[in-house]
């Protein structure tokens, strides 16, 4: 155990190579571009809406299809089953996520400039925490919307868990939920940083001589 810990600390003190620093700088680009693309889409289809209605979730806002009219129509439909109105003020995560991602971009820049593996390790841990926390909050948000229904609503339905990924039937509506380009861009950034961190340890392990037992 002590040998492994010593090996970890040795790698953590290593400096990043020039090409690793350049890769870190390049990974900031997809994270920055993700602000301009939706992360997720929630879509509803029914016989009376053959073209469907959809809502897109961005890092900092909610957007509806058909020039925003779909979101208003979705809220009108949800009102009949007692679901809370979907708007930016009811999704507090949209207020802090842009700040959190901005901090990640600055820390990535810092890791590239400082050039130490330990800075890269800290960045990877923070990225995993932020992304998993955001995913958990997203699931919780869907759960709240599907379970915290107004008992005095015009239409009574059983509380439900909306689809996280995939499709689900709710009444005569088929709901779909799936990631979009923004999530792909964030994934490129997060996956690139984590893989680059793992590569530092794999590269050192591959350089270590294989010990042979003496006579």
Say if residues 181 and 115 touch (Cβ distance below 8 Å). no
The pTM score is 0.84
Say if residue 118's pLDDT is above 90. Answer: no
What pLDDT does 210 receive?
Answer: 40
What pLDDT does 207 receive?
Answer: 61
Phi-psi region of 48 (alpha: psi -120 to 50; beta: other; left: phi over 0): alpha
Domains belonging to the chain, first-starting first, are 18-200 (1.20.140)
Task: Grade residue 93 by pLDDT with cuts at 50, 70 and 90.
Answer: confident
């Amino acid at each position: 155990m002590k040998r492994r810990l010593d090996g970890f600390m040795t790698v953590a003190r290593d400096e990043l190579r020039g090409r690793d620093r350049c890769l870190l700088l390049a990974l900031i680009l997809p994270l920055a571009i993700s602000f301009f693309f939706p992360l997720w889409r929630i879509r509803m289809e029914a016989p009376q809406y053959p073209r469907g209605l959809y809502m897109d979730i961005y890092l900092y806002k909610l957007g509806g299809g058909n020039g925003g009219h779909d979101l208003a129509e979705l809220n009108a439909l949800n009102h009949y089953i007692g679901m809370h109105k979907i708007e930016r003020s009811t999704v507090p995560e949209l207020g802090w996520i842009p700040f959190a991602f901005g901090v990640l971009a600055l820390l990535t820049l810092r890791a590239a400039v400082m050039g130490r593996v330990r800075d890269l390790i800290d960045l990877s841990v923070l990225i995993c925490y932020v992304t998993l926390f955001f995913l958990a909050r997203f699931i919780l948000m869907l759960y709240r919307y599907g379970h915290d229904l107004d008992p005095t609503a015009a239409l009574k339905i059983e509380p439900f868990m909306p689809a996280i990924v995939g499709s689900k039937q709710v009444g005569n509506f088929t709901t779909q939920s799936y990631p979009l380009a923004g999530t792909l861009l964030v994934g490129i950034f997060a996956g690139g940083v984590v893989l680059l961190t793992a590569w530092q340890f794999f590269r050192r392990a591959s350089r270590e001589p294989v010990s042979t037992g003496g006579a």
